[in-house]
Structure 1
Amino acid sequence: MKIFLSRSPLALVAVFCAFFAVAAPPTARADYPPITDPTISGSYLAARLAGAERDSDAAVAYLRALLKMDPRNEEVMERTFLAMLVDGEVEDAIPLAERLVKMDRSNRIARLALAVRSIKKGDYQRARTNLSLSVRGPIGDLTATLLAAWTMYGSGNPKAGVEMIDRLQGPDWYSAFKDINAGLIFDAAGLKKEAGRRLETAMKFDPSSVRAVDAYARWASRNASAATATQAYQAFEKLLPRHPLIGAAMAELSEGKPLPPLVKTPQEGAAEVLYGLGAALARQGGEDLALVYLQLALWLAPAHPLTSLTLADLYEQLKQPDMAIEVYEKVPAGSPLKRNAEVQLAINLDATDRFEDARKHLEALIAADPKDLDALVALGGIERGRKMFAECVGTYDKAIALVPNPARNAWTLFYFRGICNERSKKWAAAEADLKKALELYPDQPHVLNYLGYSWVDQGLHLDQGLDMIRKAVALRPDDGYIVDSLGWAYYRLGRYEDAVNELERAVELKPQDPVINDHLGDAYWKAGRRLEATFQWSHARDLKPEPDDMVKIVKKLQGGLDAVEAEPSVTQAEQKGG
């Protein structure tokens, strides 16, 4: 199960400064070799190239060299500072922050780093000073106010901290952050009634927020009843089942143990602020600022239960599996999230082309716990991605056996097993699986598309199959693969003009997909548009299709469509949504 790390109504992300163009996450951590005979222009260009290629180890190395050659250059200093923060080198970045604020006393990120350093040391007045001097904006205002409120708790005045939060005016999405932090401050300070009221408000505002639900239930276990806390957790379970943190908390409750506050110290509270905002920024396109916030949160509270997983998830989002692996490896063995981290680690091993390592890792997890549904689903997904269809059928068999009474959220198990059965040429089994997936989740567009196309492709239930594909397109009109299915279904039915119309639209949606371009070429040929067909096949060839498809495309370019069998390419089933 991929953990839903955090949800909040953040609908606006401040545009982050362009300096982060060279401060992207690295492909892998390593001791970068010393740079010999550096030049200013060479180091600058190399740093920019390293940033463009998302290799921040190299970016930091070249920027350090550049800074030594031009130590008073404010732009170089800021680029180096930001690159180091993104790379998690917070201790080394702090001296640069001190130099930057001497040049620009309101530098927001430098002031933030210095404030976090002060919070870590317990120097709360200095932290507030740094926060008050930073440049503001929607994100900056919220960050500074929440952090300052936690410093007021650290200074022994929690009510003044909450008053600061309540005075803050801003967009509607501020509310979730304001209420949960106010509630956490009150709870940490032992102000029971005030804490309960604010935490309940935060939970009701977003009942799918694991942090809001966990914070309220923990308060309830100490100040209301275990039944009230259990009820809150059970309501969350209905929305997002099997969350490890919720499961661990409920297990403690069942043993009669009251649950401690989610946050106890100002340092933990500040880390919670940075984690929550970092997670929200990552979802809204502010990946670089999110990396800064998450790295600062980890520096403050290395044991924060969700920051590491959020950071690893962000590296996955940025297609940096090596970095994600490194973060997952650091999740403590005793954490309820460790098993999820191990599963995700295996998925990222596969993403780095270490399939055997990934498979062995998952098989070890399954051997240790044969009922680990998440590990089985991950293994099935890896096998399916590697086109090991017979193997993935067996893996999904084991996963489905663990769900004796499947509900709607189990539709993917039958859908993916259906794909593996279809690709293994076991159509009867595949059809039964796809029908079961639709039974669990009627009108699911990917299932409608796959089953409908399969029927049309085999000459079965033609009207029903075509209607299903049309419905899938209506539900997902911007999905190029589903639109391609409709076009190819028309092609298989000999309706070539209709095929051309749909396939042209599919190519507009997915212009770099070789299969869709190949299909459009075939449709052009059948519609008598031979020159356009040749152009389309040439384009498909240049997009590096699968080897079997490449052979057919080359034959078509040499002798036309009649030179090959007019049938879907071997990758077509995958394009239907698998």
Structure 2
Amino acid sequence: MTSRPFFSVALAAGLAALLQLTVPARAEAVPDVDASLAGSYLAARLAIVERDNDAAITYLRNLLRLDSRNDEIVERTFYVMLIDGQVDEAMKLTDRLLKTDRTHRIARLALAVKAIKKGHYQSARTNLAVSMSGPVGDLTKTLLAAWTFYGSNNAKGAVDLIDRLEGPDWYAPMKELHAGLILDAAGVKKEAGKRLEQAMKLDPGSLRAIDAYARWASRNDNIPAAIAAYQSFDKQLPDHPLVVQALKELKAGKPLPPLVKSAQEGSAEVLYGLGSLLGRQGGEDLALVYLQFAIWLDPDHPFASLTLADLYEQLKQADKAIEVYESVPASSPLKRNADVHLAINLDATDKFNEARAHLDKIIAQDPKDIEAIMALGRILQSRKMFAECATAYSKAIALVPQPTKANWALFYFRGVCNERSKNWTGAEADLKKALELNPDQPQVLNYLGYSWVDQGTNLDQGLNMIRKAVKLRPDDGPIVDSLGWAYYKLGRYNEAVTELERAVELMPQDPVINDHLGDAYWKAGRKLEASFQWAHARDLKPEPEDLTKILVKLDKGLDVAEQPAPVLKAEENSAPAPAAAPAPAAQ
């Protein structure tokens, strides 16, 4: 699914517009004010580009103080505050935004959310009516308005509003889910069950749809159906903590309460669901706004905070993710999951020892916690502690006596760690096992296929596996790079150039891929282009050992760089180690 932005200019473009802001003429009469304005503009610009919201807000507040009549600054401050979760502060700017643009879409949405929180449902509907348009916008305002009708004791009007909405196919699961949730909250049992069951059928991978239906079934004399629904999800994603807890209660004969019990909770569910969807589809800034609204309405929502933290991880904002994970209450069944991801983000902030101690503590409490063990393997791999990484994954594999397709990653990552620790026999066995469990997994096809080609064994099979990986992931730069580098290793330099040029187009800032293309250009007789490409790779901050090789190539060419190192004299009691083979690009 793709969607248009809700506001006149996409948020990312809107924030980027800050770059074009000029110091207003009225500031020119006071030199020190002019300098302060210019400095704050530049500082805010940098902070926004780097997603340092705390700093951006500080500078934007200063800009507001120096230039309070600048509507552009007001709007930028409003957006950044929302993204940062400072919803109460952002709300104070809505009136100023509406004075300039009475239909300002996000300001109207903010006021609607505020009205829902206060129980002022007619006011919420008035603001929603002019808040936004477009596929996601239409669905947002319809579902939120429906929950306001429920809040006004008009469940029938709420469901009728949802049913009248027409749109793309992906509307259907959310329409059925929220119609069912409204009917369930209103006590319209039979119709609620039909709607929730349909939502589950339309989106069988949605835990929220399955959870909503199972909860309804448990309270309507059908605990077996509730158990079956959770068990169907467990086959897709085993041992999810909410599913484990729900099954435990159901098997004890306890019915489960409704997923949503109020208009405020229902509205938070709308914003969480769409925020989660937007985050997966590339709309990160708007996703952050939606998720912050959801948490503001329902601070105890079981998924909104974790989804927000996951999005921070995706955006490489580990410090922000850590704050959110730490806020998950100890009573939440998702606390353990939050703690595992907390450790991953601690490692991302160069707190490896703290991260490892955190995971060791979790694993000591539950030695069968595969997620925690895999997380430990992940950070050990990132630190190039490959032998320990393989040991960690071995512990996880030992907990799975009958591996299924869902377990392919365990063998794949142990295979990577074995290969990096020079245990090719173990690596090859692991990669073959991963491929046996999941024959069409592009990462495994790429890694095993490339390893064979690089070693000069199983050449045809290896090359075909890489080609298959590229066919499955045609826009994956590292996998396309693997195909190009495989052609290079086989001496097929023109084909290598073709694929490596495409890989560079997909990932222009990757030093390894640019270096590979330089090598292919040299072998294809395009030496000037090779030098340009190596110079570009040099400037992209490659790993130190790669940088050394690139500098030699720039100075003396590839032919000299490829010459073997001189053999050490016998009395030095050692022979040079063979050059390490380039690792497969996708890891």
Q: TM-score, normalised by structure 1?
A: 0.90
Who is 1:573 aligned against?
583
Residue 262 of structure 1 aligns to a residue whose secondary structure is coil
Q: Distance in 2 between matches of 1:11 and 1:89?
A: 28
Residue of structure 2 in register with 1:6 after alignment: none
Distance 2:204 2:91 in 1: 38
Q: Name structure 1 gaps, 5 residues minimum.
A: 1-9, 25-35
**Matched residue, 1:453:** 450
Does structure 1 residue 337 correspond to structure 2 residue 337? Answer: no
1:104 to 101, 106, 115: 101
Deviations 1:168-204 (A, max 9, x none): 3333332222211111111111110121111111111
Kindly indicate whether the alpha-carbon contact (under 8 Å) linking 2:215 and 2:255 is maintained by their aligned counterparts in 1.
yes
Match for residue 80 of structure 2?
83
| CA distance in structure 1 between the aligned counterparts of 2:128 and 2:434, rounded to whole angstroms | 53
**Map 1:243-258 → 2, pairs under 5 A:** 243-258=240-255
Contact 2:450 2:584 in 1 (8 A): no
List per-residue Cα deviations over 1:300-347 (Å, max 9, x = no partner).
110000100111111122221111111111111111111111111111
Deviation at 1:498, TM superposition (A): 4.1
Higher mean alpha-carbon deviation, 258-267 vs 163-172, is at 163-172
The reply on whether 1:225 has 2:216 as its aligned counterpart is no
User: Which residue number in structure 1 is paired with residue 121 of structure 2?
Assistant: 124
How many Å separate the matches in 1 of 2:71 and 2:537? 48
Residue by residue over 1:211-245, the C-alpha shift from the partner in whole angstroms, topping out at 9 and shown as x without a partner, is 11100110001114110101111122223333222
- 2:150 alignment partner in structure 1: 153
User: d(CA) in 2 for partners of 1:355 and 1:393?
Assistant: 18
The correspondence of residues 145-544 of structure 1 with structure 2, limited to 5 A, is 145-544=142-541
Displacement after TM superposition at 1:93 (Å): 2.0
In the alignment, the residues of structure 2 paired with residue 17 and residue 57 of structure 1 have an alpha-carbon distance, to the nearest angstrom, of 25
3-state SS of 1:260 partner:
coil
Identical columns (%): 68
Return the letter of the residue paired with 2:125: R
Decide whether the 8 Å contact of 1:20 with 1:79 is kept in 2.
no
> Which residue identity is paired with 2:293?
L
Number of the residue aligned with 1:550 = 547
Provide the secondary structure at the position in 2 that maps to 1:223.
Answer: coil
Contact 1:448/1:471 (<8 A) preserved: yes
Which residue in 1 is equivalent to 2:574?
Answer: none
Q: Does 1:94 align with 2:104?
A: no
TM-score by length of 2: 0.88
- Contact map agreement 2:482 2:584 (CA 8 A) in 1: no
Question: Given the superposition, is the C-alpha separation of residues 571 and 478 from structure 1 closer, same or farther in structure 2, using an over 3 Å criterion?
Answer: farther
Q: Label 1:524 to 1:150 Cα distance change in 2 as closer, same or farther (>3 A).
A: closer
Mapped contact 2:3–2:134 kept (Cα < 8 A): no
Specify the SS of the correspondent of 2:583: helix
Task: Give the stretch that moved more between structures: 378-387 or 522-531.
Answer: 522-531
- After alignment, is 510-519 or 258-267 more displaced? 510-519
Deviations 1:500-522 (A, max 9, x none): 44444433443333223333333
Rate the CA distance shift 1:569–1:482 in 2: closer, same or farther, 3 A: farther
Matched length: 557
Structure 1 residue identity aligned to 2:416: I
Cα distance between partner residues in 2 of 1:181 and 1:91: 27
- Determine the structure 2 residue equivalent to 1:33: none
What RMSD in Å do the two structures reach over aligned CA positions? Answer: 2.5
Q: Deviations over 1:246-287 (max 9, x none)?
A: 222111111110010000111111111111121122222222
- Residue aligned with 2:153, SS: coil
Amino acid corresponding to residue 197 of structure 1 in structure 2 = K
Q: Which residue type is aligned with residue 582 of structure 2?
A: Q
Q: Which amino acid aligns with 1:12?
A: S
Report the CA distance shift for 1:258/1:96 in structure 2 as closer, same or farther (over 3 A): same
Deviation at 1:528?
Answer: 4.2
Offset from partner CA, 1:468-525 (integer Å, 9 cap, x none):
3333334334333333333333333344444444444433443333223333333444
Match for 1:260: what amino acid? P
Q: Which amino acid aligns with 1:471?
A: K
Q: Per-residue deviation at 1:454?
A: 2.0
Deviations 1:549-575 (CA, angstroms, capped at 9, x unpaired): 222222233333343446997572152
The 3 A distance-change label for structure 1 pair 302 and 524 is same
Cα distance 1:124–1:548, how it changes in 2: closer, same or farther (>3 A)?
same
Moved more, 359-368 or 524-533: 524-533
Is the alpha carbon distance of 1:185 and 1:463 closer, same or farther for their aligned partners in structure 2, counting shifts above 3 Å? closer
Match of 2:19 in 1: none
| The 10-residue stretch of structure 1 (11-20 or 77-86) with the greater mean CA deviation from structure 2 | 11-20
The 10-residue stretch of structure 1 (553-562 or 196-205) with the greater mean CA deviation from structure 2: 553-562
What amino acid is the match of 1:205?
A: L
The answer (yes or no) to whether the contact 2:143–2:162 under 8 Å persists in 1 is: yes
Greater RCO (Cα-Cα under 8 Å, separation 6 or more): 1
Contact 2:132 2:141 in 1 (8 A): no
Call closer, same or farther: CA 1:424–1:295 in 2, change over 3 Å. same
List gaps (5 residues or longer) in structure 2: 17-31, 565-577
1:520 to 1:142, Cα distance in 2 relative to 1, 3 A: closer
